[in-house]
Amino acid sequence: MRAFSKKHTLEFKIPSGTSRGVLTQKESWFIVIAHNSQFGIGECALLKGLSYDDEATYGQKIEWVCNNISLGEEKLLEATQDFPSIQFGIEQAFLSLKNHNPFLFFPSDFTLNNASIAINGLIWMGDRHFMFEQIKAKLESGFSCIKMKIGAIDFEVELDLLHYIRKHFSAADIELRVDANGAFEPSTALDRLKLLSELEIHSIEQPIPTKNWDAMAELCATSPLDIALDEELIGVFDPIEKTRLLESIRPQYIILKPSLLGGYVRSEEWISSANDLKIGWWITSALESNIGLNAIAQWTYVLQNKLPQGLGTGGLYTNNFESPLTVSQGKLYYRNNLSWQADLIDQLCT
């Protein structure tokens, strides 16, 4: 058994704004395992400034994994406890190797092109015109659930944009979600949530910064708008601590990003705790390439969560990998009559 690693910098077609700044590039690493003419591929999707494992030694750790691939999956996962995105890459690579197909993780009706996954359309932050044009495009392309990032421009402008959607589409027509990425101050957050609730918003992700458990718990208890935890989950790995966080804050939802949380197993620990506490959840990708998106989408489908999921569309980048993933009418499909990029394995191994 041998393993290789490859760094690939994804280039955004259009600079994409969040409350933490504007993104123009996204760094990903790939682990490729070769064994008896079979290959397994896993994406280690690092998000600068957000990933728990955003460390100077990140590339060295991936090289160590490749040099010690013969240790096997279990021991490699134990050795990468502080590198959740690398853990997810390891899980993917071994699972696809086991399935004798580098792009097959969870065989299902989804991978047979007999089923799809409902997803939300994402509206990136920017000036009023840019966001307005995105909203129109998503509505015209058939999305029934839209997620708008807020917190970077004037709040009144953001409210106006949401009013525009509601003026033309009722809550029965379009489900609206917003994501503040922790941009609101705890002292003013409740007032803003009240204003948002008047627009029949489905939920808001991470309204205030992380590590404010008491303030977040108070918001979740008093807000007229459902709250979903996102960044709050990053860096919490112990199953007992996961349950303690959810019991303390009692959010209405949690958002699961396997690249940030440590892969399938660690994400499923969150799901188990949430289910026990009757807390809702859905899955979200974290700007992975089509390789990582594919690994997340296949897992998401077998979980059979009927809410619209926060999965990417693969269309953000100029240099993404060609894949069978397509989006139509607000749903993600695996069109198995389409092929993965022909030279992909050669490209990742050289």
- Active-site residues: which are they? 149, 257
How far, in Å, CA of 34 to CA of 94, rounded? 10
**Contact status, residue 184 vs residue 206, Cβ threshold 8 Å:** no
Nearest in space to 220 (alpha carbons), one of 234, 236, 204, 233: 204
| Strand ranges across the sheet with 280-283 | 121-123, 145-149, 175-179, 203-205, 227-229, 253-256, 280-283
How far, in Å, CA of 140 to CA of 117, rounded? 19
**Contact status, residue 217 vs residue 189, Cβ threshold 8 Å:** no
DSSP assignment of 97-140:
HHTTSTT-SS-STTTTTS--EEBPEEE-B--HHHHHHHHHHHHH
To 5 degrees, how large is the angle CA 254–CA 8–CA 30? 65
| Strand ranges across the sheet with 38-45 | 2-18, 21-35, 38-45
Give 289's DSSP letter: -
Q: How far is CA 101 from the centre of its chain?
A: 23
Contacts of 64 (CB under 8 A, 6+ apart): 79
**Helix, coil or strand: residue 196:** helix
